[in-house]
Every structure is written in structure tokens, then in C-alpha cells.
Structure 1
């Protein structure tokens, strides 16, 4: 009697094709549009709601393709988004068009599977919240004004969902002993100071196309140099990288807890964008040498050289 094995499901074929193309095992649980599932049990499931999600990835075979699929709603993330973003090698390979780990034959086989699953077709239309092609010189007043508006003009009610009643859109100062989330937005610590976001390189496709177009991270030295050229005296520099990790993770939690309200206020696409942005930023600050943030306190001394500040940091902070 000829007993044949059942044909692979859509989810099994899709997961196998991604693993073949990227040259690494992908420990992700996948569910497809037909209800089929594949992959190990996990606290996060990647859901391909339709075949268009594959086309979005194939037309932009990097992290931007996955972002477009997620923001559009063609792909969903059920469970812990941090778990998905911290899978070893996965995001790094996607971000660098990472199909170098497989031989040509394996890659062609994966592409054939993608096509049979419905990945062949016209480029899907961009999402409504993706930044259109920008005009004018970079960092001109008009172009910067448009970029800033895109980032901030989401509505105070939306921001309040994750920033809380203080509406402080800045790094919190967390108590080492209690880890008190009430420390988010400690105002006294931010008075008369500037928080400088620094890091290596420019913003990624997670950010450039959806959150902060033309955004850049600058070395701390650039900020201090600007203060000094303006005649200010730098009195204190404090690194707050670990504090921002806790702040961003708290914001992610608040946004997820207010998910339905966020969609009502800003729309599903923009809400998904912000969740991904906050989560990816938290991981960026956790990673060594990628992103950091410093609080810089500077004053303009009086004519007699007096700074007008107490002599010690403990008195500054109250």
C-alpha cells in the first residue's frame, strides 16, 4: 500500500522558503491566510493575512519590505514584538539584503516557492502613512518643517496614551532602587538642559520612511561644540541610555494597553508604525554602540564669570 506524506501546507512552504533565502533557521511561528501554521511554539506569531504580504517583501527584500507589510496590515505580529525583533541574525540580514548565506540554487528554489504562493504580481501600493518623495534640499527650512510636522502632528490625545498626563516626550529618569515607572518625565531633571540623541549612522528604513524623514543622529561632540561656539559653558554631561530603554519599553506597554483607542485616534497604519518604532528604538538603545542619549547642562556665565549654579550635582537635582 502506497502511503504518501501529506503535501506541505502554505505556512510550511513559506517558512522553508524564507529560511532557504536567508540561509539561517528562523525560529518563528508562522500562520498563513488559509489557517495553516508552521514553526516552533513561541510567544510570538507572524501572521501572513494574505498573499500581498509576500509581494511587499519581495518588492523590497529587506527590513523595509517587512515594515510595509506590517504597517499595511497584510502581516500581523501576535504576541511579544520584542521577541521577534531580537531573533539572532534575522533583522540584521534583512536590513542588509542578507541572502548571502545560501547558494544560488537554494535561493532560486525559494523564489520559485514564493511565486507559487502568490508572490508574483505588481508592486503593492504604498501605505497612506509612508512619507512621499520629499522636495527641496535636505535640511532646508521648508523640508525640515514638513519632516517635523510628519513626526509630531499626530494629535495630543494619541501621544497622551503612552506619554501619560505629563506629556513629556523625553527620556525618563528612573529610580535605581524601585524602578518606579512614575519616574517617566521627571521634570526637575530636565530644566535648563538639553538631551542629545547620539549614535552611529543615519536613521533606518524603520524610521526614515515612516516616522522621522531626514532624521539623523549626531555625535555628542557636535552638540557640545555648538554650545561652546554659542558662548555657553558646559557644566555637566550625563549618559541616560539605560534610562531610555526603560522609558521606551514602558511606552510600548502603554501603547499596547491602549491599542483600540490609539487606532481610533490615529488610524491602524500609523499606530502600527509607532509600535514598531518605539520597540525598535528600545532595542537600539540596548545594543552596544548603536544609540545613546546624553543630558547636557550648559549655562551662559555672567560678566563677572559666575554661573549661577550650585557647586554640586545633588543640589542641581534637588
Structure 2
């Protein structure tokens, strides 16, 4: 088994279905539970084959998943979410020879049912296809997301205190594996409040929340700042829970949740717009139209806060055969911070502030993985083993991407020129 992934070059120990092991002693373990795993990798070398085998339960990382995938990423086998280094001719030959010796040759197994089929549903980024892509990711089940996200129900990067990276938990108890846990809820509240301050919210303002999720920002802004909020999402499950949460908070008069594409919002102008973790779904080609649409929905002087993941590792095009588009975010596309700022400025927005939160997202993702693993059996009951494995893999690999600088996340604050001038100093929202 040791030749399958070239453990002489990767600090990883492999365990086969017959109990045999190969690789450095004490290294993270990757367990091959079935010959089918080798067959998948032979048919789809690299990230896609590994992903399919993991989701199907044919490969596992039974110990520290972060350590195992860091080892794979070090050799380009699982760098997430950009292009991976394809296997060399020597590696393919070794894999084929090993597969023959182990009796793993055979037809290509069908992909796990969790793999998205959105690509067959019309033109990319049409309203219908975007709705299908959003449903694939977000309509997994509100109870499943609650296990992972916790009471805040915020599915984007939290903002942690300065010492969060130097201690195992930001506050309170520590998760079983030492990851951040109870501090997550406070860190998410801090993020929501930071957005409110950057937008300069004042009582009586009317706010648009693009990609409102389960309504957390809308509820926070309405309750704490006395504004009215229109939240739009393409997920029917998110919208249902967001309305329920707003009603339980006594905010039905100030929080309106719609299942609506942002391109169909016609009842502006708004005093401010928040877009938190939504523009990754827009796509590079559509970014100018996205920026122009939000510009048109703002009153003069109104601010837009765009919070989005960025691709930091140079120019790239989406790889349709990588894990993220196949299993997590169909049609999702990260762009660089420079491209985002260019699109906003081209739409005539004035940039007020840019804040990078890369390390904050790594901490957030590790906390989500900790919560998922602590509640693993319930997560499997709610969403199925395959879907739970998709989320464990996605969040762990993404944390590694943020830690090694492949990906970042940025809050870009802009305003539509005109109206009241912004404060002279950033201290107004720090």
C-alpha cells in the first residue's frame, strides 16, 4: 500500500482494508477501507478521486483530519479549493501496478449521490440555475446547520478577539479536540455588530441584506440599531427559519424575509446594503452587473459592505473537477480582492475601507469542524453519512486553505457618492 500515494514524499501513514500499514511512524493516518477507493483514484487521479472515495466512506482520516489533509496538501494532492498538482507519470504507474496487485481494477464506480448535478440545469448563473445551486448547498436541513453553526446561525467568517489564536478557546469550554467552540457565538455577534457599525446604521434606516441566510444579521441590526431590514435569499429552508426567528424576536414589523433573487429587487432605494458571504455565488463574469445592481438600489451617500472569500494564489479559473464545485458550491467562483475592488469602483462606488479577515476564517472553520465532530452521530441522522462527510472535508480543507494563504476573506466598505459625507476617520466603526 505504501506506494499508492508516494508516502516517501508525503508525511502520511496509510492503512489498508486488510490492516496493513505503510509510511512514517507517528504520521497522520489515511485509512483505505475498500479496494473501490483505489479504483476511484485510478479513474480520477487527484482531488476528485480522493473526494469521491472520502464522501463514499471508502477513505477516512480517523484521527486529526487537519493533520491528514495538511500532509496531502503539502504534495498538492488536496490543495483546496484551487487546482491540484496532477499525478506524475511515475505516480500513475505505481498506482496502476498497485491496483493490479491488490485486485482493485474494474469499472469506474458511480459518484456518490451527494455530488451536485446542477451543471445540467441550464445556463450558468441564470436565475433558475443559481436557485438550484443555492438549494444544493443550503437546503441540507436547518437542524443540521444548527449543529455546526450553533445558536448564532451565522454561516460566514466570525471576528475573533486578538488572543484567540494563542489559546485553545476564545472563552468558556473547549471542544473535545481542542478547537475553538463556545467563543464562536461571541465572535459571530462581534462580526454582525462590526458590519452594523461600518454601515453607519441609525434608527429608522431601511436596509437590504443580500443573501440573508437564516436572518441573523437582519435580526441583529433590527434589534440593536432600530432599522428595518429586507433580507433576500434563494433558499426556501433558510427563509422559513429566518421568518420564524424574526417572529420569535418580536421583529416581524421590522424584518421582511423574501425568497428572491437580488436581481429582482425593485423597491429601492435603501439606506445601506449588506452582502455577507453571498458574492462568491455571483461569478466573475457577472460581477460588474452585481455591483451595478447594488449601486442602483442605494440612495446617494448610502454604504455597501461586501464580505467575501477571495482567491489569493494568482489567476485561476474554476476547476469543474475539484471537490468544491462538485460537492459544496456548484457554480461558485472566488475572485481576487483586486478584482472585487475593481468591479465596485467601475460601478462608481467610492471605497471607504478594506479589512482582511483571513486568519479569522481559519479559526471559525476549525470551530465548526469541532462542533460537527462532537455531534457526529446526530449529524449523520439528520443529513446522512455522505453529506456529513462532505461538510467535514469541506470545512477542514478550507481551514487549511486560509491558514496557508491560498484563500482570504475581506470586508470591502464602499459608498454611493453624494448625500452625507462619511466620517473622517475609521475610528467611527472600529
TM-score range, shorter chain: 0.7 to 0.9
Confirm whether residue 213 of structure 1 aligns to residue 330 of structure 2: yes
SS at match of 2:306: strand
Residue number in structure 2 paired with 1:222: 339
SS at match of 1:46: strand
Residue number in structure 2 paired with 1:9: none
Residue number in structure 1 paired with 2:242: none
Confirm whether residue 169 of structure 1 aligns to residue 285 of structure 2: no
Deviates more, 1:245-254 or 1:59-68: 245-254
Whether contact under 8 Å (2:351, 2:412) holds in the other structure is yes
SS at match of 1:25: coil
How much does 1:38 deviate?
A: 2.9
Residue number in structure 2 paired with 1:296: 412
Residue number in structure 2 paired with 1:194: 306
Confirm whether residue 71 of structure 1 aligns to residue 184 of structure 2: no
Whether contact under 8 Å (1:30, 1:37) holds in the other structure is yes
Confirm whether residue 279 of structure 1 aligns to residue 382 of structure 2: no
Task: After superposition, give the CA deviation of every residue in 1:169-210 in whole Å (9 maximum; x if it has no partner).
Answer: 111111113552331342101223220221142455120100
- Superposition pairs of residues 122-141 of structure 1, within 5 angstroms: 122-132=107-117, 133-141=119-127
Residue in structure 1 matching 2:188, options 174, 184, 195: 184
SS at match of 1:162: helix
How much does 1:107 deviate?
A: 5.4
Runs of 4+ in 1 over 6 A off after TM superposition: none
How much does 1:237 deviate?
A: 0.9
How much does 1:267 deviate?
A: 0.8
SS at match of 2:331: coil
Distance in 2, matches of 1:312 and 1:253, equals 38
Residue number in structure 2 paired with 1:97: 86
Residue number in structure 2 paired with 1:316: 429
Task: After superposition, give the CA deviation of every residue in 1:237-282 in whole Å (9 maximum; x if it has no partner).
Answer: 1111111111111111111111111111111111111111111111
Distance in 1, matches of 2:189 and 2:120, equals 33
How much does 1:228 deviate?
A: 3.7
Task: After superposition, give the CA deviation of every residue in 1:54-99 in whole Å (9 maximum; x if it has no partner).
Answer: 1111111111101100100111111111111122315269932222
SS at match of 1:91: coil
Whether contact under 8 Å (1:32, 1:47) holds in the other structure is yes
- Superposition pairs of residues 245-260 of structure 1, within 5 angstroms: 245-260=362-377
SS at match of 1:154: coil
Distance in 1, matches of 2:4 and 2:94, equals 8
SS at match of 2:382: helix
5+ residue gaps, structure 1, are 1-13
Residue number in structure 2 paired with 1:82: 66
Distance in 1, matches of 2:348 and 2:151, equals 36
SS at match of 1:78: coil
SS at match of 2:19: coil
With over 3 angstroms needed to count, the CA separation of the structure-2 counterparts of 1:107 and 1:72, relative to structure 1, is closer
Whether contact under 8 Å (1:242, 1:286) holds in the other structure is yes
Confirm whether residue 147 of structure 1 aligns to residue 114 of structure 2: no
How much does 1:218 deviate?
A: 1.3
Deviates more, 1:224-233 or 1:156-165: 224-233
Q: Cα RMSD over matched residues?
A: 2.4
Distance in 1, matches of 2:123 and 2:149, equals 33
Residue number in structure 2 paired with 1:40: 24
SS at match of 1:118: coil
How much does 1:110 deviate?
A: 4.5
5+ residue gaps, structure 2, are 171-182, 200-304
Whether contact under 8 Å (2:99, 2:105) holds in the other structure is yes
Residue in structure 1 matching 2:35, options 51, 55, 58: 51
SS at match of 1:16: coil
Question: What is the number of equivalent residue pairs in this alignment?
Answer: 293
SS at match of 1:95: coil
SS at match of 2:310: strand
Whether contact under 8 Å (2:69, 2:78) holds in the other structure is no
Distance in 2, matches of 1:135 and 1:195, equals 28
